[in-house]
Structure 1
Amino acid sequence: MLRSDWLANYADFWRDRYADIGTAALEHLTISATAIALGSLVAIPLGMLLASNRIRWLHTLVFTIANIFQTVPSLALLAILIPLLGIGVKPAIFALFLYAILPILRNTYAGFSSVDPALVESAKGMGYGTVQRLLAIQFPLAFPYIMSGIRMTTVYIISWTTLASLIGAGGLGQLIVSGMGVNKEELIVTGALAAIVLALVADRLLGALEKRFTRKARTVTRETSYV
């Protein structure tokens, strides 16, 4: 009986607050997607550079810096950024961007390092230039690794974005914090479930994209290996 009453109240809550929930979800998705996109724009080219240029000290320096950012507690990083960037969306995106770099960088580096040098030489023998080899051979073969890093990062970032509400950035975390403040279970449950659903949907979409490009990579491998 209590369970049915709670479900009925929860249904009423959704009818009354669906607009606010949708706004919070959109804010959450915008912050997460921006941070992941910025992290990808930095980490993927950097990983490609490190894989093609085996300068040991540069590799060590870049990964050490990325690891340092990854190990700083999220709340501490947000607190550090407040005097520099203030409160709101900007420091939240910047902090999440820093967290997004390492896993994407590591997987990009692993993907390009795993490409068989014989395939690259075969492509060179077919008359492929440096840029052609990079885009037509190496990138498709490394893409599953890159997407694996992006998928893992996406799940983490969507989860960590709930903390952005602590510095006034909004998102689904605001529902959780508000629910804790007024002791309203519906707000807490809705914020948590919505974040989980966003992470699962994003992972499935990225997984479908990964499978599509993985098939293309296998085709590239077969065609080049026959030369």
Structure 2
Amino acid sequence: MSWVTAFLGWLAEFFGDGANWTGSDGIPARLLEHLEFSALALALAVLVAVPLGLAIGHTGRGGMLVVVAANLARALPTLGLLVMFVLLLGASSIWPVIIPLVLLAVPPILVNTYEGIKGVDPELRDAAYGMGLRGGQVLGRVLVPVALPLILLGCRLSAIQVVATTTVAAYTGLGGLGRYVIDGFATKDYASVVGGSVLIVLFALFVQAVFALVQRVTVSPGVSRRLNIR
């Protein structure tokens, strides 16, 4: 149980230190930086992946290419991309961090959006066309509401991955909660390492809870039960 005692001691030391709650290095400031990086990367990924997934899922063209490309993109090492973009673009801006995060976030959103639209019952499509709706109307009024649980699931998976991976922003000298982990390892300040890691985990759990709430509010209960998505 010695490791438990040490862990709790480091937590108490980190969160009990008043210096960790104020200034540009304080928890509120680092949390806000982490949120800004994560939100920007996720927003850009949604802007790219959702329209593309909707178009491909609705037309049925290029679906296999999307799945293959997304699976290949998932295999890309985020840290390796980060180093590459830092070398190419320099470390004076946030883009060497944002670009790898966007590349990380796009595949789950793209695949889930595509699969969600593609998986809508063909009879439902036919009924919508039979009522006189056109392509864009069928997509917006029928297909998207039915596919929304899978789309949100893709966004939730991406958001959690981005929040966890934004820790690497500290490698370029930028802020975020990763500063506690990276700087803590560099200086052997294990209280900072443990405290920062716990904050990142709690932040990821909070993001998951937010998306679960959004799904509960926006998705029809009947659709959720049919797809068995929580």
TM-score normalized by structure 1?
A: 0.86
Identical counterparts, % of pairs: 33
Identify the range of structure 1 (63-72 vs 105-114) with the bigger mean alpha-carbon deviation: 63-72
Among 78, 81, 88, the alignment partner of 1:84 is: 88
Among 60, 66, 76, the alignment partner of 1:54 is: 60
Asked if 2 retains the 8 angstrom alpha-carbon contact of 1:89 and 1:168, the reply is no
Alignment partner, residue 202 of structure 2 = 197
Alignment partner, residue 33 of structure 1 = 39
For the pair 1:16 / 2:22, whether they are aligned, the reply is: no
Cα separation, 2, equivalents of 1:151 and 1:94: 19
Cα separation, 2, equivalents of 1:5 and 1:194: 16
Among 64, 72, 75, the alignment partner of 1:71 is: 75
Asked if 2 retains the 8 angstrom alpha-carbon contact of 1:141 and 1:217, the reply is no
Computed over aligned residues only, the root mean square deviation of the Cα atoms, in angstroms, reads 2.3
The amino acid that maps onto 1:134 is L
For the pair 1:213 / 2:218, whether they are aligned, the reply is: yes
**How much does 1:5 deviate?**
6.5
Q: Deviations over 1:159-218 (max 9, x none)?
A: 111011101221111111111122112211221111111111111111111122222674
**How much does 1:137 deviate?**
0.9
Cα 1:9/1:79, change in 2 over 3 Å: closer
| Structure 2 residues without counterparts, runs of 5 or longer | none
The amino acid that maps onto 1:84 is L
For the pair 1:150 / 2:145, whether they are aligned, the reply is: no
Asked if 2 retains the 8 angstrom alpha-carbon contact of 1:140 and 1:216, the reply is no
The amino acid that maps onto 2:34 is H
Asked if 2 retains the 8 angstrom alpha-carbon contact of 1:112 and 1:142, the reply is yes
Alignment partner, residue 137 of structure 1 = 142
Asked if 2 retains the 8 angstrom alpha-carbon contact of 1:28 and 1:170, the reply is yes
TM-score normalized by structure 2?
A: 0.85
Higher helix share: 1
For the pair 1:184 / 2:189, whether they are aligned, the reply is: yes
| Structure 1 residues without counterparts, runs of 5 or longer | 222-227
